[in-house]
Amino acid sequence: MSSVMAATRIYIPSDTTAKALGADRVARVIEATAKEQGVELEIVRNGTRALYWLDPLIEVDTPEGRFGYGPVTVKDVDSLFAAEFWSGETAHPLAVGLVEEIPYLKRQQRLTFSRAGVTDPLSLSDYEAHDGYKGLRNALKLEAQGIVDAVKASGLRGRGGAAFPTGIKWQTVLDANSPEQQKQKYIVCNADEGDSGTFADRLVMECDPFMLIEGMTIAGLAVGATQGYIYLRSEYPLADKNLNAAIESAYANNLLGEDILGSGRHFDLEVRVGAGAYICGEETSLLESLEGKRGLVRAKPPLPAIVGLFGQPTVVNNVLSLAAVPFILDKGAQAYADCGMGRSRGTLPFQVAGNVKQGGLVELAFGPTLRELMFDFAGGTRNGRPLRAVQVGGPLGAYLPESQWDTPLDYEEFAKVGAVLGHGGVVMFDDTVDMGEQARFSMEFCVAESCGKCTPCRIGSTRGVEVIDRIRAGQNVDANLELLSDLCETMLDGSLCAMGGMTPFPVQSAVKHFGEDFVKHSTSEHLNSVLEEA
């Protein structure tokens, strides 16, 4: 990398998806070509804007703003140099204009993701130059209760999926005040982002890791916790690397440790890597895993806020919940609460995935419809076939048929149609999808991932696969559909946690809205009646 004053600064993304699309190879070739041709370029590896159909998106600093080219492959490098791309040449076929004017990005409300793709993820000075650590500095001036009050006033609800008010959770931990409880409290970040179709947590950790560290430090000040753990899934090796590098840098700069910014306040932070168990995204299973045990779900109560990690009061928050905190403490609770609708305040980073033309991260205030997200932003399917089914909220979320695509993106509105927003993952399927197969997979996934503690989940999922197989084979279809319906009710009502309790959501929605896929070659009165109802 060149540090010559006159060098033009260019940005090449470095998150997992950009790398998977060849960003590292492109960076190597650009660097070599610049050297060969005597062009002074300063290459910054930014995170990513997460406009993935354009990645690797190369950006160039120009007086008007950052100008982009994408998607760039190694084969395009020669023509980019021939066009003197560093000057912001608009005639090149890959030119996309000023990046921040791209409608997909411009129409978003990026509060949590304001720095993603803008800064060098591991540069603390870059982070601080873009409002980083202002929230912590404000928090250090407040009493613990003042911080909790700000989070309450922001209306922030848990972004992991359950949407429980974050401030109330923090209050419970702050109020846990017996001498035994005061000995040690913990902040645990749930970074076990296992839902298919979601990658917002990964983006925070890869593209803006200091934001998570700052959010957790503020949480520690708010409830009196001096130790934090980030429980990170093992499927995210780059997030692990970036988080550890950022934590090291934070320690070196007095932003973690025993005397944060000279305040005498203490907070330590460590990354712990999971081991490929989806269930460990459930908070009590996660705590068991952190304690070094099998990830068996605990019965609640007691709440983790009272009896959590190693039996001590513990805040367990999702990455996005903690990542929203620095903004709230910097810009004020009202600035956050001003976004959104009804009881869903602030923004939710949606992730558009699956068979999608313009996939990526779309951070929006709650309120627009699912259809706007999938068509106005994402442009429909990647292969151009008609969109048929959409699974929102991960493997435990319902499949939505076209009749429900006008549902506003809001926790309560989704609940009304029997669906969930979850962690904001939107997985799009074209008309070749076999919904019988998808329903079977939901049960099969539950077989593989159930912790095994409660019977409805452990056995129910196995029976579910068998019943769906019989239905799809045309055996006693009426009776077996009724059996499946009963089984789903039992799992819903009788499971200890959301794993068994929500696996029926995708299954029931598939039967209800796409029943024709279950009995392609047989006639069924029961199914017909189900279809008429729907």
Partner 1 sequence: MNTPGSVSWEPTAAQAIIDELKSKPGALLPILHAIQNRFAYVPEEAVALIAPALKLSRAEVHGVISFYHHFRTHQPGRHVVEICRAEACQAQGSRELEAHAKATLGVDYHGTTADRAVTLEPVYCLGNCSCGASVRVGDEIYARMTPESFDELVDELRTERLEVL
Contacting residue, 173, 323, 352, 435, with partner 1 by CB under 8 A: 352
Contacting residue, 276, 302, 342, 386, with partner 1 by CB under 8 A: 276
Residue 359: CB minimum distance to partner 1, A: 3
Closest of 408, 514, 360, 432 to residue 21, by C-alpha: 360
Binding mask 233-252 for partner 1 (x = CB under 8 A): -xxxxx-x------------
Q: Does position 517 bind partner 1 by CB under 8 A?
A: no
Map the footprint of partner 1 across residues 198-227, applying CB under 8 A.
198-199, 202
Q: CB atoms < 10 A from the CB of 382, how many? A: 16
Q: Does position 438 bind partner 1 by CB under 8 A?
A: yes
**Stretch in the footprint of partner 1 (CB under 8 A) among 120-128, 142-150, 209-217, 356-364:** 356-364
Instruction: Identify the burial level of 64 via C-beta atoms within 10 angstroms of its C-beta, where 0-12 means exposed, 13-18 middle and 19 or more buried.
Output: exposed
Residue 199: CB minimum distance to partner 1, A: 4
CA–CA distance from 405 to each of 55, 270, 381, 476 (Å)?
A: 28, 41, 15, 33
Q: Does position 230 bind partner 1 by CB under 8 A?
A: no
Closest of 165, 166, 172, 262 to residue 223, by C-alpha: 172
Which residues are paired to 318 by β-bridges?
A: 190
**Stretch in the footprint of partner 1 (CB under 8 A) among 14-22, 166-174, 412-420, 454-462:** 14-22
CB 156 within 8 A of CB 329: no
Contacting residue, 398, 449, 465, 502, with partner 1 by CB under 8 A: 449
Strands ordered across the beta sheet of 425-430: 360-365, 347-354, 425-430, 387-392, 399-400
Nearer to partner 1, 139 or 309 (CB): 309
Binding mask 163-202 for partner 1 (x = CB under 8 A): ------------------------------xxxxxxx--x
Tell me the one-letter amino acid at 495.
Answer: S
Q: Does position 21 bind partner 1 by CB under 8 A?
A: yes
Nearer to partner 1, 246 or 426 (CB): 426
Q: Does position 310 bind partner 1 by CB under 8 A?
A: yes
What stretch of H or E contains 468?
helix 455-472
Binding mask 278-297 for partner 1 (x = CB under 8 A): x----------xxxxxxx--
Contacts of 166 (CB under 8 A, 6+ apart): 151, 156, 157, 158, 317, 321
Instruction: Identify the burial level of 533 via C-beta atoms within 10 angstroms of its C-beta, where 0-12 means exposed, 13-18 middle and 19 or more buried.
Output: exposed
Contacts of 505 (CB under 8 A, 6+ apart): 396, 397, 398, 418, 419, 420
Q: Does position 355 bind partner 1 by CB under 8 A?
A: yes
Contacting residue, 351, 480, 495, 509, with partner 1 by CB under 8 A: 351
Q: Does position 76 bind partner 1 by CB under 8 A?
A: no
Residue 314: CB minimum distance to partner 1, A: 13
Binding mask 101-130 for partner 1 (x = CB under 8 A): ------------------------------
Distance CA 375, CA 109 (A): 18
Residue 397: CB minimum distance to partner 1, A: 9
CB 214 within 8 A of CB 136: yes
CB 255 within 8 A of CB 269: no
Pairing of strands 227-232, 186-191: parallel
Nearer to partner 1, 340 or 397 (CB): 397
Residue 216: CB minimum distance to partner 1, A: 17
Residue 205 CA to its chain's centroid (Å): 10
- Give the sign of the dihedral formed by CA 212, CA 174, CA 159, CA 455: positive
Interface residues toward partner 1, by CB under 8 A: 16-17, 19-21, 50, 52-53, 193-199, 202, 234-238, 240, 272-278, 289-295, 310, 351-356, 359-360, 382, 391, 395, 425, 427-430, 433, 437-438, 441, 445, 448-449, 451
